[in-house]
Amino acid sequence: MMQRILVKMDCNKEGCDIRTISREAGVSQRFYILQKEAAEAEKNGSWIVQDGSSFARICILENHVNEKYVEIHFFWASSVESDCYKGRKERISLPYEIFQKAFAGEELHIKFLSLKENHLPKIVFRSRKNLKEVVKHPQLRRKLGKFLSKHFQWENAIQIEIYDDFLPYSFGFCECRKHGYGIVGGIILHGPEDLKTAVYNMHT
């Protein structure tokens, strides 16, 4: 799992000055990303930025529940002699909302911890009827999305297959591992008579 990195961003109308602090590498150099460079990353899905001898690659990504987030891969470099450089690589991950806020053209000071890198297996829906019913209700769609983002962080799982359950809005699941199947259970909606207060729970 990626270590948590403290990220400090000093933003203005032109762009954002980024600095990272970690236990392993200490305090980084400052890296400045222009607002127009961030816009290119959003337009193209990724963009490479240079600041002095250092580089950064901005990637706009989505997790398994289609929520956007941003990864920035830094290569911090400094010259040690003519045509010779040394440096280190670093990666930070931040919510898409923070990325948008940082490059909105306002004077801001933002501080946050880089997102954790979770070992999430691929989620495969083999559901037909129940998933269609969930999608019809925005409240249930959000609840199922949050449930999936918090569960199944299993290092040995390659894929989670999700099937219809006989209960309304509920599902069965099967964990697929490299050498066979693992945990089998259900994602059951409790209290379906009131969708506002209904909650998803895992049963194994």
What are 164-184's pLDDT values in tens digits?
999 999 999 998 887 788 889
C-alpha–C-alpha distance, residues 192 and 170, integer Å = 9
Tell me the pLDDT tens digit for each residue of 96-118.
Answer: 999 999 999 999 999 988 876 55
Burial of 118: CB neighbours in 10 Å, binned 0-12, 13-18, 19+: middle
What is the band of 1 on the pLDDT scale with cuts at 50, 70, 90? very low
What is the band of 200 on the pLDDT scale with cuts at 50, 70, 90? very high
C-alpha–C-alpha distance, residues 36 and 165, integer Å = 48
Residue 155: pLDDT over 50: yes
Q: What is the pTM of this model?
A: 0.57
What does residue 130 show for φ and ψ, rounded to 5 degrees? Answer: -65, -40
Could you say which DSSP state residue 150 is in?
Answer: H
C-alpha–C-alpha distance, residues 140 and 85, integer Å = 53
Cα R_g (the chain), whole angstroms: 21
Nearest to 67 by CA among 120, 10, 8, 2: 120
Give the pLDDT score at 106: 92
Could you say which DSSP state residue 106 is in?
Answer: S
C-alpha–C-alpha distance, residues 77 and 177, integer Å = 40
Tell me the pLDDT tens digit for each residue of 62-105.
Answer: 875 567 889 999 988 766 566 665 677 888 888 899 999 999 99
